[in-house]
Structure formats: structure tokens, C-alpha cells
Amino acid sequence: MTKDIKAKEERKFDIVLAAIRLFSRDGFYATRVPDIAKEVGMSAGNIYNYFKSKEDLAKCAIRYCTNVLANKLREINNMDITTREKIEHFVKGYFEVVEKFPELTEFFLRVYLANREVFSKRCDNGYECASEFIEEVGRLLDNGAAAGDLQKQDFHVAFSMIMGPLGCFTFLTGENVLEKNVIKYAPDIAENIYLALSKR
Amino acid sequence: MTKDIKAKEERKFDIVLAAIRLFSRDGFYATRVPDIAKEVGMSAGNIYNYFKSKEDLAKCAIRYCTNVLANKLREINNMDITTREKIEHFVKGYFEVVEKFPELTEFFLRVYLANREVFSKRCDNGYECASEFIEEVGRLLDNGAAAGDLQKQDFHVAFSMIMGPLGCFTFLTGENVLEKNVIKYAPDIAENIYLALSKR
Amino acid sequence: MTKDIKAKEERKFDIVLAAIRLFSRDGFYATRVPDIAKEVGMSAGNIYNYFKSKEDLAKCAIRYCTNVLANKLREINNMDITTREKIEHFVKGYFEVVEKFPELTEFFLRVYLANREVFSKRCDNGYECASEFIEEVGRLLDNGAAAGDLQKQDFHVAFSMIMGPLGCFTFLTGENVLEKNVIKYAPDIAENIYLALSKR
Amino acid sequence: MTKDIKAKEERKFDIVLAAIRLFSRDGFYATRVPDIAKEVGMSAGNIYNYFKSKEDLAKCAIRYCTNVLANKLREINNMDITTREKIEHFVKGYFEVVEKFPELTEFFLRVYLANREVFSKRCDNGYECASEFIEEVGRLLDNGAAAGDLQKQDFHVAFSMIMGPLGCFTFLTGENVLEKNVIKYAPDIAENIYLALSKR
DNA sequence: CATGAATGAGGCTTCATTCAT
DNA sequence: AATGAATGAAGCCTCATTCAT
């Protein structure tokens, strides 16, 4: 019983991973349900025993990606280190995901940012889908300001200074135009972000 | 004769504008050719007298968007002002586009950045499609460094510090989560960018 | 222009007729849209330029069938003859339809009576879909009673004595169990109905 | 052993009843096998331990419904009462079924009469599936004629005068358009039928 | 006998694109 | 250049049925 339920959850997770892989490579629309099924090694029809629709699957995938990043950032937020170190850790951590599991961030960029029509029905706006992660960014900034490390700024302004460059690097990695491994860029990016946000 | 050709070019432009409008709102795939036709006030079939395919139309649209931004930045680059002022002008100019012609930047974000499969066939990578604009960003950075205003940095690192936040704000505007008019954020964003990139 | 619209209406009518043909023979579900398309000589996709869905097509077909019968009965109601003659005319007229256009009545029996789930969404109940026809039956009975020819009776009771036997013969014709041509049964059926309903 | 077989038969009967319930409500095609399984409280797969196919199940259901009505009519035929009383009893008995077990007659009307394609494969024509019942109607008419109560008539004509109105009322009940309880209509219907068929 | 995950065939529908007018 | 009916290729999804457990 319990074992079967566990097996079912695992199978569901397999599908999500496969979907992320293909969605990030080919986009939401160009990825066909049978493609995903093949990637997991099951029949297309069976996908529908796990997810209500292709859209539903994409939403689950987004939620998973958001969680991974949110958890990563939450851990860092809970560490007892300086704000500057937190930013360094986060940029490095994010880039590690970009390197080791590029589909995750690519998927985020390609499917979430770009196919709003897919998500806007469930989430009031796509933004909310990622709320967990966004809140964590908020904590990073608030704590930094409280500690006197960061300049007090409008949230969206500060948010864009962190996530903008990271998103940009996700894109550049996907375009294959970087000369070095992404991770190599982490220290410089972190420093730039810190310079932009730190108390002047 | 010449007049007819001119008329044809104008009609073509009308279609491009309509396409940008709809693509940016609904995405590339969810926008149907008949929708675009209706928006311009012509029949679906007639679109094909102007563009080889829906993809072709999207590429023309991207080229147009890239040009608008590239021209804007080129003008600024040619002005005889400090690097800091150039960044301020550029951020403000970009945000003006976001406000007055939000479809343009939205289209860029949603269709170009995210639907690689649509563009990668013509451009070797989608990145090159925007090369004209990217080169201009390069000039901004190089001149700034030559003038001793900016720290010498890896191009992609610096690029991401400029275009990342701007892209992020394009997204936030589209999501309707900003409390103030976009333009109001320009000075702060410009300052942050300058702090990140300036000589230390 | 006008001609095109007319042509389009005619084409639409062709599709309705083909649909009635196939629906009556194979039932609503067993008839596939491509089958109908083939019967009219067009592609399956093109059907959707005329009807929103297979269901929509079935509803149009039902409306057409109802109208044919309602018109027939209305004409008879307007004639200056005895109630008995009206019933004779109606039974004969109905059986002529059963003979010459068996699909029409069969379709009515098979699709309308049996596939309520298809129609109940648009019509509050399937009954209302045929209201025009039912009203005409009401007029036949009311006028007959007013003329002193028919016994005053509950509408549904009288209605069932007319349409019940006719529906039953529609079914028997479809089952191919009648020894004689349907029309031959008309006088006897008409007499039976008259005996059941006439003033005692 | 015997007990198990009995249990199995009972389980089979449960399934038939559930099927009649759902088929009559939603039609043959719109009812899914898992729906039936859920209604009985078993798994979809298990249905196939009792019936070869969905079609097979529908045929069993029809046979059951036919038997119920045939038995009822046979009993009445065997009673020592006048033909008129027999007709009264039958109409009343039929309407009692319509009231107490509406699914049975509804199922008959919706699935059997209208989904010929489902039954015609096993029975030469769907008509024969109900032969037991139909024969009993024949006995009612023959005995009535032999007793000098009914006019000698073509079987199908007389049959349609009985079963037509009853079928019609089954439909009207299903459509929820009757003001009174069905049973209340029995005497009038019976009288009408008798007037139509009795010796003149 | 019972389960329910899995299959696979096939249906409805959409849509870019073509083409006769 | 303009129309819009027509095509045909796919895609999503459903569901009866099977089968390993």
C-alpha cells in the first residue's frame, strides 16, 4: 500500500524531471506529450493517470523548480555569515544549478517567463507561482539591510539587480556563448551585485 | 510604382506591429495567423503575400525590435556625455519604450528569449539575431572603460549587469506587480548599475 | 457576395444532410467526423469552418428535422378539413417521411431520444429542442377538441397516443421487420389514433 | 463452491444493476467502464472477470430488463380477467416500473432502441433481443381477439398502439415534464389503448 | 477474485498554409 | 493585392481492455 503510493509518487517525479528536460530544451509547445512519455519510458496515455493535462504537468514542474531554488536560498539565509557571503553563496549556488541541472533554470526562463498564457490561469499572475522563492529573496535583502550591510531600496529594484544578471546568465549559458564554465563567473557577478546593493 | 512599393512596405510594417502586439500578449504559439490578420484588418491568406511563414514574420519582428533598441543606444553612445550619464539615458530610454511600447520589450522577452526553437534555424544562435544591439552595448562598456569610468570586466558579466535588471523590469511590468510607473524606477536602477560597473 | 453567402449556406446544409444520414445509420458516437466529411466530399478540418463541434452539428441537424415535421403538421393544421382527416393526413405525411427520408425520423429517434447528454446542455431539456413541433401537435388536439371532434384530454396523454405509435413505427421500419411498405399501415394507424382520441 | 457461484452471480447482478443505472442516465457511450466499477464499488479491471466486454454487459442488462417486463406481462396474461382489465393491469404495471425502477425502462428506451449498432451484432436485429417480451404482447392481443374483445388487426399496428404510448411516457418521465406522478396517467392511457384496439 | 497501472488505438479539434477566384 | 474556403498534418486526450501482482 504505502509502498505503492511511494512508487506512484516516484513515477510522478520521473515524469516531472523528463518534462523539465524536454520543455527546457524545446519549449512548452514544441514538446509533445508522447515525447515526454518516451523519455520516461511509458505510453502517452499513461501520463494522464498522473497529470490532468500537459499544462498541469508544466505547472507541477514549475513548482518543483521554484522549490529547489527557494530551498537553496533559504538554507543560505539561515546561515550565520555576512550578507556579502550570502550573496556569494547564492550566486555560486545558482550557477551550480545552471551547470549541473541546466534544464531547471532554462525551464524556468523559457517556460515560465515566456509562456505566461499557460500559467496565468492557475496563478493569478505568473509571478505568484514563484512566490516562495521571491519571499526568500526578500528575506535576503531585508536581513542585509537590517544588518546595515545593504542600502535600503525598493524591493523590485533590488530584486532585479540580483535575479536579472542571474537570469541573463541562464540565457547566455543556453545560447552557448560563454567562453568559460558558468561557475567561473560567479565571484565577479557576486561582487558586482554586492557593489550595486551595498550601503554607500 | 514606387508608390506601390512604399504602400506595400507600410502594409508590411502594419503586420509586424500587429504581430508584436499579439505575440507579446499571447506568446508565439498561442497567437494564430488569423488573429494577426484580423488585428491588421486583412485576411489570413494575405499575410502570406508579405511573409513566407509565421516564423518569418516573427523574425522580422525581432529584427525590428532589436533595431529600435540598437538605434536608441547608438544615439546615446554618440553623445558627448559622461559614461554615467549614458547609462542614465539608456535606462531611462529603455524604460520609456517599456512604458510607451510595452509590446516591443515584452515581445523581446517572451518570444525571442524564450522560443529559441523558432529563431535558431535562421540565426546560428538566437543571440546573433540581436547582434547589432549587443555590439552597441559593447561600445558603451568599452568607451566607458577607455574613459576610465568603468572597471574593465568580462563582457558578459558587464552585459548581464545592464540587461539583466532591464529585462527583469520588463517582466515585472508585464506581470503588473509594480506599484509605480516603470519610468520612476529608472534613476535607481541606473545608479545601481553604475555602482556595479564603475571603477573602484 | 450574396452568392457566396448562399453557397456557404448550401454547403452547410449539405453537411447537415450527410450528418443526418450517418447519425441515423450509425448513431451519434459511432459516426466519426471524418466519415461525415467524406460523405460530403470535404476534409474533416473544413467541417469546423461550418460548425463549432460535432455536437453543434448534431444540434443543427435536430433543429432541421424538427422543422420539417413541424412545417408538415402546420400546413395540415391550416387546412380546412375535419379533425379525422387531419390525423389521416398527418399519419400519412409522417410515414411518407419515414419512407422517403427515413434518416430524418430515424435520426430523431436514435440521436435525439437516446443521446440526451448531447442535447441537454443547450436545451434546458431535450424536450424543448422540439418545442415548435410539439406546439403544433397541441394545436391539432386543441382545434379538434374545440371542433367537438376530440375528447378533451390531458395533453401528454393525447400526445403519446399520436407520437407513440408513429415513433414505434419509425423504430420498426429501422429494424426491417415490417412485411409491407410503411405507408400501407397509415390508414389503420390513423383510425386507431382517432378511435382513441375521438369524443365518446 | 455452490455458495461461491451464488456469490458470483449476485456480484454479476450488482454490476448489471449499476450498469442499467448509469447507462440509462448517461447513455451507453458516455458511461465509462470505470464509472460502472465505481458504482458497484470495485475496480474497473474486475468488471472483466464477470463480463467479456462493455457491450456484453449492455446485452446482459437488456436481457434482464426484457425479462422483468416479459414476466410481468406473462403473469397478467395468465390471469382470468377480461382483456380490458389485462390492458389496465399492464399499463399500470408498466408505469409502476417507470416509477419505482425508472432506470429500467429508460435504459430500454435510450440504450436498446437507440444504439442499434451495439446490439445488432449478437441479435440478428435488435428486435429479437426482446422477443420474449414481444411474444407476450402477441399473446395479449391474440387472446383478446379470440375472446372477441379486440378487433383483429395487423400485429405491428396493434403493438405500436400499446408500446408506443408507453414508450412515449417513459421518455416524458425522463424529461421531467409531467405534472403528475406517472401512475396517475395509467387509467387514461389504458382506456385510450382499449378504445383504439377494441372491437368496433 | 481483486487491483490499478499501463497500453494503444483512435477520436476530436486546431491551425499554418495553399489556391482558386 | 485580397479573400476565405479548403486541406492535411498533427496534437491532446480518452477509454476499453489487459496484465502483473
| Count of structural domains within chain A | 1
Those residues with Cβ within 8 angstroms of residue A43's Cβ, 6 or more apart along the chain or in another chain: A37
Kindly report, residue by residue over B45-55, the tens digit of the pLDDT. 999 999 999 99
Using 50, 70 and 90 to split pLDDT, how confident is the model at D125?
very low
State the pLDDT at residue B117.
78
Question: Using CA atoms in the order B96, B102, B105, B108, what is the torsion angle rounded to 10 degrees?
Answer: -170
% of chain B at pLDDT higher than 70: 93
Give the total residue count for chain A. 200
Going from the C-alpha of B146 to that of each of B57, B91, B143, B149, B178, the distances in angstroms are: 40, 21, 5, 8, 36
Q: Identify the bridge partners of residue C198 per DSSP, sorted by sequence position.
A: C150
D neighbour chains, 3+ CB pairs within 8 Å: C
Across all strands, nucleotide nearest D49 (CA–C1'):
E1
pLDDT of B184 strictly over 80: yes
- Per residue in D176-196, pLDDT tens? 889 999 999 999 999 999 999
Average pLDDT over residues D133-153: 95
Question: Is residue C7 included in any domain, yes or no?
Answer: no
Which of C111, C125, C167 is facing D164, going by the closest CB pair?
Answer: C167
Average pLDDT, rounded, for chain D: 91
Any domain includes C16 = no
We report the CATH number of the domain holding residue A141 as 1.10.357.10
Q: What is the mean pLDDT of chain B?
A: 91
Does some domain include residue D42?
no
For residue D159, being part of any structural domain is answered with yes
Mean pLDDT, residues B170-199 taken together:
95
- Residue B116: pLDDT band (50, 70, 90) is confident
Domain assignment of residue A11, yes or no: no
* Chain A residues with beta carbon closer than 8 angstroms to that of B161: 164-165, 189, 192, 196
Q: What is the model's pLDDT at position A2?
A: 55
- Give chain A's residues under pLDDT 70: 1-6, 116, 119-129
Residue B169 lies in a domain: yes
Please give the pLDDT value at position B121.
53
Give, as ranges, the nucleotides of chain E with any atom within 7 Å of a protein CB: 1-20
pLDDT value of position C184: 97
- At residue C63, what is the residue type? R
What's the pLDDT tens digit per position in C54-106?
A: 999 999 998 899 899 999 999 999 999 999 999 999 999 999 999 999 999 99
Task: Give the span between the Cα atoms of C64 and C133, in whole angstroms.
Answer: 11
pLDDT of residue A36: 97
CA-CA distances (angstroms) from residue D70 to C102, D17, D19, D24, D75?
A: 30, 18, 20, 19, 9
List, chain by chain, residues whose CB lies under 7 Å from nucleic acid strand F: A 31-34, 44-45, 48, 53-55; B 4, 8, 11, 42-46, 49-50; C 4, 8, 11, 42-46, 49; D 29-34, 44-45, 48, 53-55
- Of A112-121, D31-40, D60-69, which gets the smallest average pLDDT? A112-121
Please indicate, yes or no, if residue A161 is contained in any of the structural domains: yes
B84/A48 Cα distance (integer angstroms): 55
Contacts of A125 in chain B (CB under 8 A): 175-177
Quote the DSSP letter at residue A181: -
Given a cut of 70, the residues of chain C with pLDDT beneath it are 1-6, 116-129
What's the average model confidence in pLDDT over B26-51? 96
Q: What's the grid cell of residue A111?
A: 517556460
For residue D87, the enclosing domain spans: 61-197
Within a domain: B116: yes
D68-122 pLDDT, tens digit each: 999 999 999 999 999 999 999 999 999 999 999 999 999 988 888 778 777 765 4
Look up residue C110 and give its amino acid.
R
Instruction: Note the pLDDT of residue D124.
Output: 46
In the prediction, which pLDDT does D140 show?
Answer: 97
Query: Does C133 touch chain D if contact means CB atoms closer than 8 Å?
Result: no
User: What's the whole-number average pLDDT of chain C?
Assistant: 90
Q: Give the mean model confidence (pLDDT) for residues B125-153.
A: 88
Q: What's residue C124's pLDDT?
A: 44
